[in-house]
Amino acid sequence: MRVYIETDELVLREFVDEDIAGIYELDSDHDVHQYLGANPIHSLDQAATIVKDIQQQNIKYGIARWAIIHKLTNEFVGWTGLKYETLVKKEMPYYDLGYRLKPKFWGKGIATETSIIALNYGFKILQLEEIFAGAHIDNIASNRVLQKVGLQLVEQFVYDSSLHNWYAINKINWQRGLLK
């Protein structure tokens, strides 16, 4: 199992089959899905499909979301990081920055901290030119995280029948942010 990075409190690693229970807890939560189409999952089978899909993306594209593990308790916190996204904007596959945490871990800066790590990984290790993200316009926390880590609002678009903000950051602007 590949570990990408450890912070003082967290391990960011690739998904393993043992994460199915954690994904079930995360994705069956109505609050977590408030701005994600309000369609939480209802079974461990659905959670297993999600984990398998993430693992297959890693094999196919060399990148997929990272599981976040709380070091002290070994608890599954949620996920963060990059994904090669082919479904949201069908005319334009892109590298997406995203995150999803169990509510007990909200408000501690975890999405911000791990997004900065993911951007570094995308631009330095994967040598990407540009990273994008979308967030429901009412998802204040997610919009705030994207702005804090340096993404810029480009436009708005409709996804899943809801208005979303569309953000981008290119390698040059990311490097400029590092110099500040």
Q: Does the footprint of ligand COA cover residue 37 (CB under 6 A)?
A: no
Q: Does the footprint of ligand COA cover residue 100 (CB under 6 A)?
A: yes
DSSP 125: I
Beta bridge partners of 133: 167
DSSP 19: G
Shortest approach of ligand COA to residue 5 CB, angstroms? 16
Shortest approach of ligand COA to residue 11 CB, angstroms? 16
Shortest approach of ligand COA to residue 95 CB, angstroms? 15
List binders of ligand COA among 142-171 (CB under 6 A).
142, 144-145, 148
Q: Which two tokens stand for residue 91?
A: 């005319």
Shortest approach of ligand COA to residue 88 CB, angstroms? 11
Q: What DSSP letter does each residue of 83-123 carry, written as one string?
A: EEE-SSSTT--EEEEEEEE-GGGTTSSHHHHHHHHHHHIII
Q: Whole-angstrom Cα distance, residue 34 to residue 49?
A: 21
Q: Whole-angstrom Cα distance, residue 75 to residue 162?
A: 33
- The only residue of 54, 67, 68, 111 in contact with ligand COA, by rule CB under 6 A: 111
- The only residue of 16, 43, 53, 109 in contact with ligand COA, by rule CB under 6 A: 109
Residues that bind ligand COA (CB under 6 A): 32, 35-36, 98-101, 106-112, 135, 139-142, 144-145, 148
